[in-house]
Amino acid sequence: MGRRCQARAACAAVLAFWSATRAVAATPEGRSLSAGVDVGVRTARDDLIVPLASTGPALGFGARFVGAVGPGLLDTGVRFQLAALFDRSDHPAASIFHAFRLAYLPVVVNRPDRWSLALGPALVWETDVLWLHAWDDAHAYWLGRRYLGLSARAWRPRSATWRLELTAELNVLGFESRPPAYRYKNEDALTQVSFYFAGVNRDAAFGSVLDWQALRLEADLCRTLAPGARKKGHSLGLEARIAHTSAPAEAFVFELNVRYAYAWDL
């Protein structure tokens, strides 16, 4: 009953938020398609197998489209990242992250010479998979999430060709998939690609931000090379991401990345 009430309250909040943003929306301009690479550091821990964190370097690739659609911004992207992790005893581990997000952000403040702001709902499907070879070489451990979240994007020009962009995103409600507390299978299908997409998202449980959390923060400095209608540019940014759950045991992922992207304005 408590979880059902939480879900209803979260739905009401999203609907109220959506109605409020539509009432004050302004029309943005511009569309861009970008592709980039990121390098960073990731820390992961899953108490379901061992209460010990593993940390190491990560390398990722992604693509993103941001553009004006009606009174708001359509922000969608895909990302894939690999990480090599080690615990304090130098036991090796591997981690995979993949994500798809689709957000529509009505513009609530549109000031070309100062800060502009867009707020709205986001649909996200993201998965962290962890393989701890020294502790269990036959099974993977994961946090699979499909959720409705709230996303905010703010931007401000710094000069004629530079702008600063800030993004924040937090889950509201959705489905989370975790490994079972007791592993009845002798081994997972670790050699099958489908396992890392479909297999780790089975047996999902419904919950809200009160049950598990997925937070993402971004800051990008973007440069446009020429002021024409069709132009190319690039950006350099920082991203921080946190994922946390407490069922069936405590688990978290934290990563900090530096990202470079090359963009085409459409």
Q: Give per-residue pLDDT as tens, 38-50.
A: 999 999 999 999 9
pLDDT of residue 12: 53
* Nearest alpha carbon to residue 165 among 75, 44, 62, 52: 75
- State residue 9's pLDDT score: 53
Res. 130 pLDDT band, cuts 50 70 90: very high
Mean pLDDT of the chain: 87
The whole-angstrom distance between residue 186's C-alpha and the CA centroid of its chain comes to 32
- At 229-262, the pLDDT tens digits run 455 688 999 999 999 999 999 999 999 999 999 9
- How does DSSP assign 118-163, residue by residue? EEEEEEEEEEEEEE-TTT-TT--EEEEEEEEEEEEEEEEESSSSEE
Tell me which of 9 and 95 has the higher pLDDT.
95
Q: Which pLDDT score is estimated for 234?
A: 86
Q: Is a pLDDT exceeding 60 seen at residue 21? A: no
Longest dimension (CA), the chain: 61
Q: Is the model more confident about 223 or about 239?
A: 239
**Single pTM value for the model:** 0.85
Give the confidence band of 11 by pLDDT, cuts at 50, 70, 90: low
pLDDT at 229: 40
Lowest mean pLDDT among 17-26, 103-112, 122-131: 17-26
Q: Which of 11-15, 140-144, 255-259 has the lowest mean pLDDT?
A: 11-15
55 vs 12, higher pLDDT: 55
Residue ranges of domains in the chain, CATH in brackets: 2-265 (2.40.128.100)
